[in-house]
């Protein structure tokens, strides 16, 4: 049977069928047509995923008041979290690997870097080109891990440039942490603020999720470069 394109138009491409795309703060995720977003992955808000990148099962990429940009050929593995926040750039350059259960918040991971399983990179941190953060390592707030460096398994990195400290050296870790200002960087409060106040402040910001909308597969958006 002969039919015209007007009668039966070709359906628009759908990216990430079965994944949860969430409109948050009036922004929707935009994903390259060549990317793969697994079912059970969640993308919320002002999130962009570049060509040929992969977001695997259970991963969460959420723009909580700040955008998240993921470049080309990146892999965000199972149950990893990438969180955008106000006032701090959140970006993965090209060819970045983020391992399972890693946690990245308000940080920049430059191209060709690897964040291994269970590693944490905190607000205001920068992992420069080709650097590695090994299993369960911690990169503290406002820290710069220099290009080509490696934070060893389970170690702490803090400062600009990062000083690497073995996990048992708590005195040195605490000495580095103080000037980097975790409360001010993460919560916008002074060091003397009480946890109940911080909790209430954080809860108020997250209350905007009450206005979220889960998008049907056919409403998943292509990244701008693919829409032309």
Query: Comparing C-alpha atoms, which of 26, 29, 23 is closest to residue 221?
Result: 29
13-36 as b/e, with b when 16 or more CB fall inside 10 Å?
Answer: eebbeebbbbbbeeebbbbbebbb
- For position 5, what pLDDT does the model report? 61
Query: Peptide bond before 125: cis, by omega within 30 degrees of 0?
Result: no
- For position 228, what pLDDT does the model report? 47
Cα–Cα distance between 136 and 139 in angstroms, integer?
10
Chunked mean pLDDT (size 10), the chain, 228 residues: 64 83 96 96 98 98 97 98 96 98 98 98 98 98 98 98 97 96 89 82 88 92 69
Does the pTM surpass 0.95? The reply is no
101 close to 121: Cβ distance less than 8 angstroms:
no
- For position 52, what pLDDT does the model report? 97
Strands 120-121 and 138-139: parallel
CA dihedral 156, 86, 188, 134 (to 10 degrees): -10
Residue 108: how many other CB atoms lie within 10 Å: 20
Residue 83 Cα to chain centre, angstroms? 4
């Amino acid at each position: 049977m002969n039919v015209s394109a007007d009668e039966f138009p070709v359906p628009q491409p759908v990216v990430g069928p079965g994944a949860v795309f969430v409109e948050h703060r009036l922004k929707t995720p935009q994903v390259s047509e060549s990317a793969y977003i697994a079912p059970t992955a969640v993308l919320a808000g002002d999130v962009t995923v570049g060509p040929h990148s992969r977001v695997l099962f259970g991963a969460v990429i959420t723009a909580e008041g700040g955008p998240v940009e993921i470049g080309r050929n990146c892999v965000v593995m199972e149950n990893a979290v990438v969180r955008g926040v106000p006032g701090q750039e959140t970006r993965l350059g090209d060819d970045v690997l983020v391992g399972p259960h890693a946690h990245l918040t308000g940080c920049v991971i430059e191209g060709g870097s690897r964040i291994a399983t269970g590693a944490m990179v905190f607000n205001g941190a920068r992992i420069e080109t080709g650097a590695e953060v090994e299993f369960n390592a911690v990169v503290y707030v406002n820290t710069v891990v220099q290009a080509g460096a490696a934070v060893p398994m389970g170690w702490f990195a803090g400062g600009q440039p990062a000083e690497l400290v073995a996990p048992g050296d708590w005195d040195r870790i605490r000495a580095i942490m103080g000037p980097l200002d975790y409360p001010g960087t993460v919560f916008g409060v002074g060091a003397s603020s009480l946890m109940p106040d911080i909790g209430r402040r954080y809860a108020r910001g997250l209350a905007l999720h009450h206005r979220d909308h889960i998008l049907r597969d056919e409403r998943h958006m292509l990244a701008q470069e693919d829409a032309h």
